Amino acid sequence: MTRPLLDPKKISPEALAKVRGLHTETIDEIEKAIAAHDVVVVGMAQNPHVRKVRAELKEAGIAFEYLEYGSYLSEWRRRLAIKLWSGWPTFPQVFVRGELIGGEDLTRKALEDGSLKAKLGAADVDGAAATA
C-alpha cells in the first residue's frame, strides 16, 4: 500500500488489540461476501452515491452482492471499521473479484471504459441480474 500507515511497533499492545478487534464480525462478513461473489458493493442507507452505483451496475447487467451498514444516523462505528480495514475513506466500496476498485466515480469510469466487464469476463456479465 502506498499511503503511509502508522508502524504497528509504534502502537501500544492494548491499542493494537482494540484496533484488531474493532467489529471483526463485520469485516468477516465482507470478506466472506467477496470470496463468494464476483462483485460486492459495501454501502449505507440514504447515501446517493451508493444508490447510483447500484443502479449503474444493474443497468449494465452486472450481478452484485450488496451489504448495507447503517445510515448517516446509525452504525458509524461499523463503517469506521470497514474504512480502516479497506483504506478507502467513503462509501460505496466496490470490490470486483476481490479487488477494491473504489467508489462511485471509479466504478463509473470502469463501467464506461469497459475495464470492469473485462475483469469479470463477458460470459459472467451477459444476462446477469443484480442480487440486491
What's 113's domain CATH number? Answer: 3.40.30.10
How many CB atoms sit inside 10 A of residue 118's CB?
Answer: 12
Query: Which amino acid, residue 118?
Result: A
The rounded distance, in Å, linking the Cα atoms of 40 and 97 is: 8
Q: Look-up: residue for cell 475495464?
A: 115
Residue 86 domain-assigned (yes or no): yes
pTM of the model: 0.87
Residue 32 domain-assigned (yes or no): yes
Residue 92 domain-assigned (yes or no): yes
Residue 128 domain-assigned (yes or no): no
* pLDDT at residue 1, as a whole number: 53
Residues of the chain with pLDDT under 50: 123, 126-130
Residue 1 domain-assigned (yes or no): no
Question: CA angle, 48 as apex, 42 and 53 as ends, to 5°?
Answer: 50
Residue 33 domain-assigned (yes or no): yes
Question: Number of structural domains, the chain?
Answer: 1
| Edge-first strand listing for the sheet containing 65-68 | 65-68, 39-43, 93-96, 99-102
Range of the domain at 58: 12-121
